[in-house]
Chain A
Amino acid sequence: MTVDVEGAAPAAPPGAPPSRNGEPGRSWFARHGRLLESAMLPLAFVALVIGFGIHSPTHFLTLRNFSNIFGSQAVLFVLTIALLVPLTNGDLDLSVGSLSGLVSMIVAVLNVNDGIAIGWCIVIGLAVGLFCGAVNGLIVVRFNVNPFIITLGTGTVFSGIQEWLSKEQTIVGVSANLSNWTYNKQLLSIPVEFWYGIVIMLIAWYVLTFTPFGQRALFVGQSREVARLSGFNVPRMRLQGFLIAGFVAAISGVLFVGTTGSASPGTGTDLLLPAYAAAFLSLTTIQPGRFNAVGAGLSVYFLATGVSGLELLGAQDYVQSLFYGVVLVIAVVVSRLVGRRVDRGWR
């Protein structure tokens, strides 16, 4: 599953004379260190499954349980992917959670209260996502302000609109068509929305790894000045990042309505932290040091499996917050160590 994107794996062809710099005696560990690093999270994932499996094979190790985990976490899965392009650009978008919630509410209200066909509701919801992304991006780029603060502000506005539209009521009775095409219908015993997530993940992976856009975004994220002098259109790329984030977050909002058949005020924001936890966890795996789509997807399900297992062990609801929070902190620290093994880096 490891993607050798940068060719950090030994560059010298087999049989080549030892490099002139005189480093013939590289140990096995030194040569495969990066591979090990990439494999750390998948291994932890397997260990987690085995551990919980041994403990409660009858409940945890069931197809139903996994089908449930994969299906119910598709919203978080997609939302996490939404973060990746802005993060690669070096932008934090804190509004995606509330945007997802807002879109779910718009879809539900239009469908239930106004009787608009669900297809149109989805189109409108996605358009709203794009619009909100554009608002974020234009403010950030035009006025050259810190996206952290701006999206904190716009995200709060999105939440406010969500509550306003809901009139503080949970909207139920959304067209069953949506639920059928997201949660109820299954492929390989897993709800189709999971496979939607996989498709979106693969698209993100392609964009970030196999297009010039994705490679340029790395420069934008690392050094705006280098990117600018390189002739990259930094403002436009950042705007595109926010647009993508808005659109993909809107998709996650639609999936939310499909999964629950309803929309409630205040949802969405609670997904922000786990989404960031998973995104930062992706820095430690598959393509270490990069926000990467496959790693992010793996991380989402690693987190979800952990929470599910802990709950089967009888843990209370609060364990979810504990688990996500702790993992976010650990992920950031580990990614730092991965990125900078240079001994005592305090810069």
Chain B
Amino acid sequence: MDGAARSSAAAPCLELRGLAKRFGATRALAGVDLRIEAGEVVALLGENGSGKSTLVKVLAGYHAPEPGGELRVSGRPVALPVPLDAYREIGLSFVFQDLGLAPGLSVVENLFVGRRVHGAGRRPIRWRSERRAARAIFERYGVRLDPEAAVGELRPTAQALLAIVRAAEELREFRAGAAEGGVLVLDEPTVFLPEEEKVFLFDLVRRVAADGAGVLFVSHDMGAVREIAHRAVVLRDGQKVGDVAMADTSDAELVQLVSGHRLGAEAVAALVGQRSPEGANDPRQAPEAAPSAPQLAPGAPGPQLAPGAPGPRLAPGAPGPRRAHAPAGRGEPVGEGEVALEVSRLAGGRLRDVSLRLHAGEILGVAGLLGSGSEDLPYALFGALPGASGHVRCGRFSGEVSELDPRSAQRIGIALVPGDRKGQGIAPELSVAVNMLSLVLERFVRHGALSHRAIRRTAEERAETYDIRPRQPGLPMSALSGGNQQKVVLARWLELAPRVLLAHEPTQGVDVATRAQVHAFMRARCRQGAAILWVSTDFDELASVCDRILVCAGGEIAGAVSGPPFTRDRITSEVYTAAARGRADREEVKV
């Protein structure tokens, strides 16, 4: 044993040594060591593409690491690669980023996947007692889930809770079998969770740790990490660049570790949840966009297609137009741009009655908890939500939203950056170039045939403009990291030079540097006269990026947040107040 410095007598729950992994020529992990003591919560931090997900996938047996690495779980050596689906037996349990649930199966079937309460071996499964056991488990964890419901019909929050409870329960079972240690691995667990459920998650994590298991908490959510972790391990480019006790490390230091000095003040402020009003519009937050602008200008098919073009306007000291109308009144834009989009009495999905106006040149934020209806708003406006009703005016179009479909919406100048990148945003096996330019293919027809050379050339330019790495548009989309994929999605829709951009969680699961870039690209578009509707549950982000913020609750616009400047705390309190008010109203109606 090498437990030299550690006081704990027990073997660490998890010990990884020299873990390396290559994908072709790309080094995803370069000899990473990781140690989790019993009862310890370790946060794994790093930007997209830093190797976090790869590490988790190696632990789950999804990837085979390069030879030479070592893994011990609770002191017992485990041969690498971890045999597929054997992680339960060795004491690892996972909440995967995509949750790993089968949508077509019921809650109870998902809960007990891979094991049975009764009917072990060849005896038939007794579904009634399985359901009873499931109910008992949910009761113990304090979650309300119907064991017979189909998982695909649950809300994302409920699905996340199910995955979390399942992982915790599997770990408990493992430990009940008189085994020591065990590790709960949570990969971005807070993405699907609204604030109130995060509290539940933190309680659960604390309980698991108090029982003597280890927890690996992989997250971009710095607030959550600060709240729950004892120690943070930071990866950058596949290498461990930091292993620090949370108590001894300031937020700024953590940010430096994660980002490697690439950030401006705004991103730091957004990250640590304290907005510094002066830093908010700091032009330095667009380090990549500005220098690339001059190269782009000559080749761009039209001025409105070059989001990097206004880069020079971001130069330090230049008063951005946004700054010009900064002292906005309550909820009303001061820029007085013309109305780009006007909606009245929009209903459908979870929306009940939404009316709003979106002005050219502004970023209008819509803040709401999951289930508030805000998540349906972009799709309803894009004509992609079946059964939506209401009146829309945009450009020359004025009519019912039911007359719109994604195609006609594009034609009148609306674009949508969807929230679910994997399911709605990209075709993973097709090339970056085709993904990026598939909405404007007609532009590349030369003499009756698509010019793949022209497509590639344009894609290369865009990769430069949007800092998409690697600069190889011929690669399949799946070869890119999440942040780069998201930039492709953004580029794809901005290519339409939309009058109105509907953005749903446009930086979800994206690292801080990319996030700052996305913000810069969006702002640049706004300056060129586009209007952006930004729907998000990330209030930090809304606070730093929006000109105006509306609060959505119970399928209606419940009010506006005063500002700018906005703060995350004020948005949070408005949103929760509105949600509570709405609930009370509805209960009254029932009475």
Q: Point out residues on A near B: beta carbons under 8 Å.
A: 4-9, 11-12, 19-21, 23, 25-26, 30, 206, 209-212, 214-216, 218-219, 222-223, 225-226, 228-233, 289, 339, 341-344, 346
Taking a contact as CB atoms under 8 Å apart, the answer to whether A211 and B449 are in contact is yes
Q: Give the residue of A11, A209, A210, A222 whose beta carbon is less than 8 angstroms from that of B460.
A: A11
Q: Which of B316-350 contact A (CB under 8 A)?
A: none
Q: Give every chain A residue within 8 A of B430 (Cβ-Cβ).
A: 218-219, 222
Task: Indicate whether B25 reaches chain A with its CB closer than 8 angstroms.
Answer: yes
Q: Give every chain A residue within 8 A of B62 (Cβ-Cβ).
A: 344, 346
Assuming the contacts A226-B425, A229-B384, asked whether A20 and B469 have C-beta atoms less than 8 A apart, the reply is: yes
Which applies to chain A's interface (DSSP): helix, strand, loop or mixed?
A: loop
Taking a contact as CB atoms under 8 Å apart, the answer to whether A219 and B427 are in contact is yes
Taking a contact as CB atoms under 8 Å apart, the answer to whether A226 and B427 are in contact is yes
Q: Give every chain A residue within 8 A of B106 (Cβ-Cβ).
A: none
Q: Point out residues on B near A: beta carbons under 8 Å.
A: 23-26, 61-64, 81, 84, 382, 384, 405-410, 416, 418, 423-431, 433-434, 438-439, 441-442, 445, 448-450, 452-453, 456, 460, 469-475, 478
- When C-beta atoms are compared, the residue in chain A nearest to B459 turns out to be A7
Taking a contact as CB atoms under 8 Å apart, the answer to whether B418 and A229 are in contact is yes
Taking a contact as CB atoms under 8 Å apart, the answer to whether A225 and B424 are in contact is yes
Taking a contact as CB atoms under 8 Å apart, the answer to whether B25 and A228 are in contact is no
Q: Give the residue of A216, A222, A343 whose beta carbon is less than 8 angstroms from that of B63.
A: A343
Q: List 18 A-B contacts (CB under 8 A).
A: A5-B452, A7-B431, A7-B456, A7-B473, A19-B470, A23-B25, A26-B25, A210-B450, A211-B445, A215-B450, A216-B438, A218-B427, A222-B428, A226-B423, A229-B416, A231-B410, A233-B407, A344-B84
Expressed in whole angstroms, the minimum distance between the Cβ of B295 and any Cβ of chain A is 14
Could you say which of B26, B382, B472 has the most chain A C-beta atoms within 10 Å of its C-beta?
Answer: B472
Q: Give every chain B residue within 8 A of A210 (Cβ-Cβ).
A: 448-450
Return the 3 tightest CB-CB contacts between A and B, nearest first: A231-B407, A212-B441, A210-B449
Taking a contact as CB atoms under 8 Å apart, the answer to whether B426 and A6 are in contact is no
Q: Give the residue of B64, B425, B460 whose beta carbon is less than 8 angstroms from that of A343.
A: B64
Taking a contact as CB atoms under 8 Å apart, the answer to whether A21 and B473 are in contact is no
Q: How far is the CA of A38 from the CA of B51 in the complex (A)?
A: 31
Q: How far is the CA of A346 from the CA of B61 in the complex (A)?
A: 10
Q: How far is the CA of A19 from the CA of B431 in the complex (A)?
A: 18
Assuming the contacts A6-B474, A215-B441, A344-B84, asked whether A228 and B450 have C-beta atoms less than 8 A apart, the reply is: no
Could you say which of B24, B409, B442 has the most chain A C-beta atoms within 10 Å of its C-beta?
Answer: B24
Expressed in whole angstroms, the minimum distance between the Cβ of B207 and any Cβ of chain A is 32
Taking a contact as CB atoms under 8 Å apart, the answer to whether A23 and B452 are in contact is no
Q: How far is the CA of A228 from the CA of B26 in the complex (A)?
A: 33
Q: How far is the CA of A6 from the CA of B435 in the complex (A)?
A: 11
Q: Give the residue of A215, A216, A222 whose beta carbon is less than 8 angstroms from that of B429.
A: A222
Expressed in whole angstroms, the minimum distance between the Cβ of B294 and any Cβ of chain A is 18
- When C-beta atoms are compared, the residue in chain B nearest to A346 turns out to be B84
Expressed in whole angstroms, the minimum distance between the Cβ of B163 and any Cβ of chain A is 17
Taking a contact as CB atoms under 8 Å apart, the answer to whether B473 and A11 are in contact is yes
Expressed in whole angstroms, the minimum distance between the Cβ of B97 and any Cβ of chain A is 13
Could you say which of A23, A222, A226, A344 has the most chain B C-beta atoms within 10 Å of its C-beta?
Answer: A226
Q: How far is the CA of A231 from the CA of B414 in the complex (A)?
A: 11
Taking a contact as CB atoms under 8 Å apart, the answer to whether A11 and B474 are in contact is yes
Taking a contact as CB atoms under 8 Å apart, the answer to whether A4 and B471 are in contact is no
Q: How far is the CA of A5 from the CA of B434 in the complex (A)?
A: 10
